[in-house]
Chains A and B, each alone.
Chain A
Amino acid sequence: MSEKVGVYVCHCGTNIAGVVDVEEVSNWAGEQPNVVCSRDYKFMCSSLGQELIEEDIKEHGLTRIVVAACSPHMHEKTFRGATERGGLNPYLFEMANIREHNSWATTDKAAATHKAKALVNGAVERVVHHQPLEPIPVEINPATLVVGGGIAGISAALELADAGNHVYLVEREPSIGGHMAQLDKTFPTLDCSACILTPKMVDVEQHPNITLYSWSEVENISGYIGNFNVTVRKKARYVIEELCTGCGICEEKCPRKVVDEVFEAGLAQRKAIYTPFPQAVPKYPVLDPPNCTYFERGKCKACQILCPTGAIDFEQEDELLEFPVGNVILATGYDLFDSNRIPQYGYGHLANVFTSLEFERMVNASGPTDGKIVLRDGESVPQSVAIVHCVGSRDNNYHEYCSKVCCMYSLKFAHLVHERIPEAEVYNFYIDIRTPGKGYEEFYNRLLEEGTHFIRGRVADVTDAARLPGEEGKLIVQAEDTLIGKQRRIPVDMVILSAGMEARHDSQDVSLMFGMGCDFDGFFTERHPKLDPVATMTEGIFIAGACQGPKDIPDSVAQGAAAAARVAGLVNQETVMMEPVRASINKETCSGCRLCNDLCPYNAIVFHEDQKLSEVITALCQGCGTCVAACPSSAINGAHFTNEQVFSEIEGILWDVMEHQAVPA
């Protein structure tokens, strides 16, 4: 059987043509067996480039197509489309990556051209063994799981629910609201954070299309786009939600006080049974057994005795809920960088060094100091405040990236200090001021006018060791002022560390559970950094908000809505076509050895005891190939990755070292 292969070598402007001699590659490819037509073209992905393929298929009767261009992640779908419009099955196409794997990786033109030939030849040798495949239709369950009830998750859930789709919103903490609920004001408009957030939280609670599971975590997920099966662990609250009215008597009467490390950032106390803040949604409190007198000593039960509706249940256990969903949006947010990791900044051993989150709570009118800015003693008002930017960010020792929000919130802090303590001096130590956003630069200018001192230099040290007159009893912030080229020692009463955002400590586990990727920093990996920022490489799993990278509130809201729109689009289609690149077991040659039975990461392999045969459930299979490689008798075939296809490609790539010589004596 001889195939007629068409080869198209893309210039990608100068991206490829600047390094690879595309004309030479195209001419050379034209001389290879089976190739009947070979061209190079400036932009193969343009409509004109695609039309070339369509026309050649009709004119030359091509039966196979090879495009040597960028990564298949980028344009495999594009060219499969062109192949199909030309009248061929889209899987009779193969892509050779001569950009990411070649022209972008070297400046050596001769070597790059040589490698391009090898890659093209591999693709040609492979494509003649391609078989036509048909996509597999899959129905989409209209329900969606949103993980994380911060502002991104809330936005996504509300958008979807308003569009008439059912949403399960799962939140790990007792209340939704996320970090935004802890903030006082939001930059640059100085809107009260709670005032704009709590109505949305209430909307979530009251929405008929939203099922809210707070104090819950996703335990397991299986399945595939359109048909996921979710297991959620609803942690024991020790409060019967159906009976609880949220009156707060239990919290009031609980005799045990505990430092609230989560919501109040350690600045205030809560009870052993508590709602994290008055506007919490849902309103039901949570009992914290390790700190509860009853759980500790078997006595007390004050909450149970005094609860007017008998809603306290010490016997309550975690509940495992299972439900099907069609899509998932992960909006799991971020962790604040732990300032203890930079000992020279004094946090933890110098009392009046605060983290940004502590300061947020302090300036919050409903926070531990009712909005008064005071030192750690709870009463002294600082007369001078240093705000240290880039704590943990833009620092090779911690995170190389910029956390994006710290400049703006540091400016906000400066403003709040001026507002509450007009006579105080405020120093902002910055590397660069980054204010890209609507109204952000204007806010910076306002702060310049308010009299904030801006010192351009990374802070080296925060110490209480006085050396100069006037430093006694103060915290001394040392930095090189790079604008005047001098070391400065600024004595202040209070230091605020503007800690950066980092990925959730358990983001890697989450990414494993949901079968999608996360980068080295732990942030979830989007399908495309520019053009597909809320989708992931796993179909049906979307991401929104700071779990994808540092983000402020408007960006998180926008991403939540964007992810919701993507899901709504899928739900509207009702079915999606899935890649037919799947494994299948040949019944004739399966010996029933059961080596493959425990390997499938998607649990797609079943063993039929009666026939002594294993079978791959096509809809569950994701085409990863694990079982194909493991089957010792080659009874499992990986469609589009058959032995013949893979070995031909390898031989094609090694054309210059493989002369098909006989085994030497």
Chain B
Amino acid sequence: MSEKPKLAMYWAASCGGCEISVLNIGDKILIVDEVFDLAFFPCIADFKHHDVEGYEDGYIDVCLFNGAIRTSDNEEMAKLLRKKSKVLVAYGSCAYEGCIPALSNLTTKDETFNTVYYENQTIDNPNRVVPQVETQVPEGTLTLPSFYNTVKSLDQVVDVDYYLPGCPPEPEQIWAVLEIVVNALLNDGPLPPAGSIVGAGNVAVCEECPLDKNVKTITQFYRPYEIQPEPGLCLLEQGLICVGPATRSGCGALCPQVGMGCRGCYGPLEGVDDQGAKMLSAIASVVGVGDSTDDEFELEEMIDNVMDSLADPSGTFYRFSMAHSLLERVKANGNGTNGGEVK
């Protein structure tokens, strides 16, 4: 029997949840172990950078790459793994569309450092030490990867074959994808076309959500802790932000079913370039105060009042998709100076 196909999984800017999600597919993990040899999986096995460098190009059959591109190290690893892998999968929301790390695209590297190294309540940094790319010590020069101003998704630095959305992806979806891959490798089964989003549906989360949906007119937004949602009724109708209508299905609408509005981790649907803008546009369309007989100025004020009850719109609507959106990042300081690129 020929050698087993090689599987790799790597984390860039991520929380580690994606690794756990792979291990969370239950006894199917035994099949994975049976089918594949691990070529690189720093979370669960001891591999070194130079191990990968030593592989021939295309040595790895499937690489599940999770995490966003936050530092020069992330980018270097992305490029290395792209070269060494036949199939590169952007695994999870960070690699696919930037996710939580990319929310820092709402500010700048300097501001981020300021907060993390100087201003956080728990920080005690009297010498104002911050990470440097190069540090001179008596023994020579120490280097660290550089910290980018803008967080990117994996496909913004290398070509990606498939995207597997979710924060993290759901076990049955992970297995469904792995099954296709295994079938393709062992039995020459069909692979989806390159660039496909795999392990997710093509309709919005609402399709899977069992809550009752009615015509929506929102007069006030609430944060989850502020009200006890009425059971069985669409959360959005009750003023609780649920990004389900703008989010790909595939998760089984887990969050809305337990009274927590969909956060949007499966990303936008086919044909949507900007999930955040789409959801904001949808929400704005159903704010239902006043009517055309109201004074224009008063109407504007009424609408403003409703929208003011919506906390942190950019963080809410772009929670997962900032890097991959039309927005990509905000212009810093209004004029693009201070290191913030103009996008």
| A contact set with B: CB distance below 8 Å | 509, 512, 588-599, 607, 612, 626, 629-635, 643, 647, 662-665
Contact = CB atoms under 8 A, between A and B. Distances in A.
A598 B269 contact: no
Contacts of B319: none
A632 B273 contact: no
B286 A599 contact: yes
Interface residues of B, number: 40
Contact of A591 (B216, B249, B281): B249
B341 interface: yes
B203 interface: yes
B136 interface: no
B204 interface: yes
B120 to A, nearest CB: 26
Contacts of B204: 589, 591, 593, 632-633, 635
B182 interface: no
Contact of A634 (B207, B278, B288): B278
B281 A663 contact: no
B2 to A, nearest CB: 39
A589 B281 CA distance: 18
B270 interface: yes
B140 to A, nearest CB: 26
Contacts of B82: none
B271 A663 contact: no
B149 A643 contact: no
Contacts of B278: 631-634
12 contacts: A591-B203, A591-B206, A595-B285, A598-B286, A626-B285, A630-B285, A630-B286, A632-B245, A632-B278, A663-B328, A664-B150, A665-B148
Given A591-B206, A597-B215, A632-B204, A665 B150 contact: yes
Question: Chain A CB within 10 Å — which of B156, B245, B249 has the most?
Answer: B245
B206 A593 contact: yes
B213 interface: yes
A180 to B, nearest CB: 31
B199 interface: no
B279 interface: yes
B121 interface: no
Given A591-B245, A591-B249, A663-B150, A630 B203 contact: no
B335 interface: no
Given A592-B207, A633-B269, 14 more contacts: A588-B202, A588-B203, A591-B206, A591-B244, A595-B285, A612-B213, A631-B278, A632-B246, A632-B281, A632-B282, A634-B271, A635-B204, A663-B150, A664-B341
A633 B246 contact: yes
Contacts, number: 100
Interface of A is mostly: loop
Sort A-B residue pairs by CB-CB distance and give the 9 closest, nearest first: A632-B246, A591-B204, A630-B285, A591-B206, A634-B271, A593-B245, A632-B282, A593-B206, A591-B207
Contacts of A647: 273
The interface centre, meaning the residue of A626, A631, A662 with most chain B CB atoms within 10 A of its CB, is A631
B307 to A, nearest CB: 15
Nearest to B243: A632
Contacts of A594: 213-216, 234
Contact of B216 (A588, A598, A633): A598
B187 interface: no
